[in-house]
Each structure stands twice: as C-alpha cells, then as structure tokens.
Amino acid sequence: MLDTDLMAQLKTYLQNLKRPVELVVSADSSPKAQELRSLAQDIESLSPLVSLIEKEGKRMPSMKVTNVETKTDITFAGLPMGHEFTSLVLALLHTGGHPLKLDAAVIKQIKALPGQYHFETYVSLSCQNCPDVVQALNMMAALNPNITNVMIDGSLFQTEVFERDILAVPSVYLNGEIFSQGRISLTEILNKIDTGAMVRQAEILAEKEPFDVLVVGGGPAGASAAIYAARKGLRTGIVADKFGGQVAETVGIENFISVKATEGPKLVANLEAHVHEYDVDIMDNQRALSLKSGELFELELENGAVLQSKTVLLATGARWREMNVPGEHEYRGKGVAYCPHCDGPLFKGKRVAVIGGGNSGIEAAIDLANIVAHVTVLEFDTVLRADEVLQRKAASMQNITIMTQAMTTEVLGDGKRVNGLNYTDRATGENHHVELEGVFVQIGLIPNSEWLENTIELTPRGEIIVDGKGETSLAGIFAAGDVTNSAYKQIIIAMGSGATASLGAFDYLIRHSVPEEKRVAA
C-alpha cells in the first residue's frame, strides 16, 4: 500500500511509540477495504508495538486505533490518505504515548471533562480544512477514554451522508446531533462543551499587562507585523479569531516568491512556527468586539476581557462575499458552498453552479468539472474577469457552460437541500431557472471591519484607509492586509503591508515616548 519512501518515514515516526497500539480493522471485499487492510498490515510491520486484528464493525471499511492500556480509541471510516494521512500518523503517535503539543492547562481541561462524547466527523480527502478538525478531536480522544472520534470519508459513505443531508465538510456530529460545520479549533470545541471555559479565559486575558503593539488578526499581515514588532524588542501580542485567516482555506499557492508551490495550511503552519520563534503572546480563538482610545487603547473581546496597548495594528483580513439572495442562508451547508476543494467531492456526478467569473470562480469551475456532471458559471458582468489562460481551459471543457450578464436572484430547494436557482438575463430582462444540486459562491471578499465603524475612517466598501506607513485616521492605530484599501489582495502584498505598518507603529512609539519639550527642541 505504502511506497518505500513513505514506509521509511513512517517507521521513523513509529519509533516514538511508548506503549502498545492495537489496530482493529473492519473490512469487506470492496477495493477500498482491501487497500485499508494493506495499509494496516504495512503499519503493523513497522513497529513491534503495533498489533493488528480484524473483526466486523458498524462501518466497513474502517480502522480503529486503540490504546490497549487506557482503552482510548480513534476510528477512521474509510481510507485515511490524502490530507488525512497526517491525521492517521498523529493518531498512532498520540495513542502510543507520544506527547501532545498542547498546553498543560488544556490537557488537564480535556482529561477532566465529565460525561460521554462520541464525535463523528465527516470529511472529504481533498479538504484542506478537515484535518485540523479531525486532529483536534483525535487529541481529545487520545487523552480521555470517555471521548471518541470517528473520521468518516463522506465520498465513501454516501448513503449515510445523504440521510444526514451533509453537503459541506467538515461536518461534526456529537452524540448523534449536529455539533459544528466548517473549520473549528480545539479551543472552540472546548468552549462549546465546557461552559466555564470562556469565563476562565477572559479572567486570564484581563490580567495581562499593556502591550506596546497589539496585532488584531493572525493571517499573513498579522504574522508579519508581529514578527517585525517583536524583532524591535516591543512587547507584542496577537489576538486572532483563527490563526492563518483566509490563507488556511487556500489550496494551491504558486505565486509566493521564492516558493515554487505550496498549500495554504502548510504556509499557515510555517507562519505560526515563525511567530513562535519570537516573544509574541498569541491569543488565538479570540474575536475583537470594540476598540476605544484613551491614554492606552482598549480592545474589548467577545468574552468580556479588555486588553490594553500603546498602539494597535489591525489585520483582520476579509471573508467570502455572499450573494445576499433568498435561499442562500437557508441552504448554506445544504447545497450552497464557498469552498469547492472541500465540498466538491460531495457533489460527484451532480449538477452545480459557480457564481462569479473571476479567477476564483473559473478555477472552481475547472476543478469541479473533473468531479461533477455539469458546471454552469454565472457572471454578473458582460465579460469574464479571469485570466485568459483560465478562460481558455474552461472553454475547452465539455461540461462547463458559461453565462455572462446573469444575475442570480434566488436559490431554491425542497427544505432539506438545493434543487435549483433562478437568474435574470441582464441583457434581455428575461428570468430563467436552472435545475441543479449545488451552488458554489465565488464573488470575492468583504473586509472584516464592521466592528470598527465610527472608530476609524473606512471606504464605502468597508476597507480601512491607511497612509504610506500603514497608519489609519486615528493616530496610533495602524492597519495592514486585505482589510485595508490596498490596491491588490495578495498574500505577499499582505505580508509586506504588515511589515510596513509594524515599522510605522515602531516609529510612532519612538516619537511619542520622547517628552514634548524635547520633541519641540529637536
């Protein structure tokens, strides 16, 4: 099953096992089951601490990774390859006693959770967001025998997916009820099941000393800004809803100078590792609520904590723009999707639409055309805005239909899932209906700046207006990245603007730390 190089790498990893691990394989005669059995046999051959047994199970094919001493277990329903192979390796290590890279307080919190928690996580093996969710739940399962997690390949267990009306991944069920959909971190999971967690977090955050530079946002701009500030010897903090921001949902990155090709999650991991090289206080999974100015700036968080800083650097990024038409919110996760790479495999053999004719929209259409039966691209403008090379590729594919001057007016469904959409031909005024099962929205980004209205100057589109040093209309407040009025929204540009704004904040601190009479004399 595994090639020679992968076997050698896995053997090296498995040398870190401290205690026995049992693989319980449930396999029928299907090709995927045979592959899973072969994978389990390969793993068993690489370590004397790994043993393999076979028996019938609820889902076939599946493989349970069990700690024979503590009776903790993690299950993979399907073949955990692609993005999920790392989840399997980590499950083996954590079940086998290799230390988890978690704060001691978090480990204690997980071990102390009362009650029974049976998680089921539906994924697609092409989803770059799914492994983070699977790995977070697997770590919990490795620490507490009352917690289990089953990773379920949605494209393999299609009957189960259909019965639960799952059309977006990752989808997490807890004790048979929907728990979350989309990216969710370990901290967010704990906040949902441990009701006192947020209060304890707020108390800890409220006790922090004032910062010199407080960065709001953990994407490329925020990470760059934090590194530059810390290198200047400034007391630096990062408040981030989710470290990595929009980049974590990006699959292929081929225009990051000096790196020929990479993927979003890999770049985010490198960014976070780089930030950890410096004395930066990272406060992840925290959302900013308001910003007030005074002798020190005060940043209020949703959990009630208030952080103080001499300067603030806003790098909150942007999110997917929505169509804002009837049916979009009702059928979100039930046929309306925003990530073709994650959710595309769930629409295998079906008809879908892509809304938007820019690079993102046409790239999505090309990717989906290799999976689904037919793709209809609806572009509001008179022409496509995607690069010519992408337009030529899309035009060459037989199952892609492109319509310009098409204004989507409504998403339709049967109450459970999407079954069509309506659009108006802007050239003729005629209304049309398209029967389909999925709608992928790719119409650009909207800045995460609503919470800053009436605080600093914004453009009509909600972008933060900055000068050449990244400073906003309020002295001491700086901004960088996609949330600003920068001409282009690119990863490398966001990083550069983060550095610029951080240096601007450093310059501001130098000038405002000098007594007034000496500044005048100078």
In order, the DSSP letters of 124-141 are -TT-SSHHHHHHHHHHHH
Percent of the chain as helix, strand, coil, to the nearest 5: 35, 25, 40
Residue keyed to tokens 């800890």: 204
Which residue type does 367 have? D
* Cβ-based neighbours of 273, under 8 Å, separated by 6 or more: none
Residue 258 DSSP one-character state: T
First and final CA of the chain: distance in angstroms? 73
Which pLDDT score is estimated for 245? 86
Tell me how many degrees the CA angle 269-271-272 measures, rounded to the nearest 5: 65
> Which two structure tokens, joined as six digits, stand for 153?
């390949």
3-state secondary structure of 222: helix
3-state secondary structure of 58: coil
Residue keyed to tokens 């103080």: 308
Instruction: Confirm if 205 and 374 have CB atoms less than 8 A apart.
Output: no
Residue 437 DSSP one-character state: S
- State how far the Cα of 200 lies from the Cα of 252, in Å rounded to an integer: 39
Instruction: Confirm if 247 and 262 have CB atoms less than 8 A apart.
Output: no
Pairing of strands 336-337, 351-355: unpaired
Among 506, 508, 507, 511, smallest CA distance to 235 is for 506
pLDDT of 52 over the 90 cut: yes
pLDDT of 277 over the 90 cut: yes
* Cβ-based neighbours of 452, under 8 Å, separated by 6 or more: 291, 314, 458, 464
Specify the higher pLDDT residue, 478 or 166.
Answer: 478
Task: Check the CA dihedral 437-176-82-186 and report its sign.
Answer: positive
φ/ψ (deg, to 5) at 422: -110, 145
Instruction: Confirm if 17 and 47 have CB atoms less than 8 A apart.
Output: yes
Instruction: Tell the burial category of 273 from Cβ atoms under 10 Å away from its Cβ (0-12, 13-18, 19+).
Output: exposed
* Cβ-based neighbours of 225, under 8 Å, separated by 6 or more: 213, 215, 313, 315, 480, 498, 499, 501, 502, 505
- State how far the Cα of 72 lies from the Cα of 142, in Å rounded to an integer: 6
Specify the higher pLDDT residue, 242 or 452.
Answer: 452
Separation in Å, CA 393 to CA 155, 366, 452, 488: 26, 7, 41, 24
**pLDDT tens figures, 356-370:** 999 999 999 999 999
**pLDDT tens figures, 419-429:** 999 999 999 99
Instruction: Confirm if 128 and 85 have CB atoms less than 8 A apart.
Output: no
**pLDDT tens figures, 80-107:** 998 899 999 999 999 999 999 998 989 9
**pTM as predicted:** 0.81
- State how far the Cα of 164 lies from the Cα of 178, in Å rounded to an integer: 9
pLDDT of 476 over the 70 cut: yes
Residue 323 DSSP one-character state: -
With a pLDDT cut of 90, the percent of the chain lying above it is 84
Mean pLDDT of 25-36: 95
* Cβ-based neighbours of 108, under 8 Å, separated by 6 or more: none
**pLDDT tens figures, 196-248:** 888 888 999 999 999 999 999 999 999 999 999 999 999 999 999 989 988 98
With a pLDDT cut of 70, the percent of the chain lying above it is 98
**pLDDT tens figures, 346-405:** 999 999 999 999 999 999 999 999 999 999 999 999 999 999 999 999 999 999 999 999
Q: DSSP for 409-430?
A: EEEEESSSSEEEEEEEETTT--
pLDDT of 136 over the 90 cut: yes
Instruction: Confirm if 405 and 386 have CB atoms less than 8 A apart.
Output: no
Residue 382 DSSP one-character state: S
Ramachandran sector of residue 349 (left: φ over 0; alpha: ψ -120 to 50; beta: rest): left
The string over 169-181, giving b where at least 16 C-beta atoms fall within 10 Å of a residue's C-beta and e elsewhere, is: bbbbbbeeeebbb
Which pLDDT score is estimated for 74? 97
* Cβ-based neighbours of 85, under 8 Å, separated by 6 or more: none
- State how far the Cα of 56 lies from the Cα of 63, in Å rounded to an integer: 11
pLDDT of 517 over the 60 cut: no
pLDDT of 146 over the 70 cut: yes
Instruction: Confirm if 472 and 466 have CB atoms less than 8 A apart.
Output: yes
Q: What is the mean pLDDT of the chain?
A: 94
Give all strands of the β-sheet with 418-425 in edge-to-edge order. 406-413, 418-425, 431-435
Which pLDDT score is estimated for 342? 85
Instruction: Confirm if 97 and 53 have CB atoms less than 8 A apart.
Output: no
- State how far the Cα of 419 lies from the Cα of 412, in Å rounded to an integer: 6
pLDDT of 467 over the 90 cut: yes
- State how far the Cα of 130 lies from the Cα of 65, in Å rounded to an integer: 19
